[in-house]
Amino acid sequence: MNQSSVPQNVDTERLPCPYCGDSYESGDLARHNEPVQCGPCIQCVGKPACFTCGLMYCACDVHKFRG
Ligand SMILES: [Zn+2]
Ligand SMILES: [Zn+2]
Ligand SMILES: [Zn+2]
């Protein structure tokens, strides 16, 4: 049969993360997808663990930029 079907190879693996830009594997999914309720910083609250907060005032251990 010759069916012209829409490609449905949309895997959830190996997608570039919208937060850190890395392409990640399914094993790292939680790190890039699970929201972290981190605290007083409004910039990064609810972002996953891979997110790096750009605020220099960020006191959050998870997202604080480590230079
Ligand atoms: Zn990420
Ligand atoms: Zn922050
Ligand atoms: Zn944070």
| Sequence spans of domains, the chain | 13-67
The greatest distance separating any two alpha carbons of the chain, rounded to the nearest whole angstrom, comes to 61
pLDDT score for 6: 60
28 C-alpha vs ligand 1 centroid, how far in Å?
9
The alpha carbon of 20 and the centre of ligand 2 are apart by a number of angstroms equal to 14
What is the pLDDT at residue 1?
60
pLDDT number for residue 5: 62
Q: How far is the CA of 61 from the centre of ligand 3 (A)?
A: 7
Tokens of 52: 């790096």
The pLDDT tens digits of the residues spanning 4-41 come to 666 555 555 567 899 999 998 889 999 999 999 998 88
| Distance (Å) from CA 19 to ligand 2 centroid | 13
* Span 45-59, pLDDT tens digits: 899 999 999 888 898
Report pLDDT for 39: 82
Angle at 4 between CA 3 and CA 7, to 5 degrees: 120
CB atoms within 10 A of CB 55: 14
Q: Which ligand is nearest to the CA of 54?
A: 2
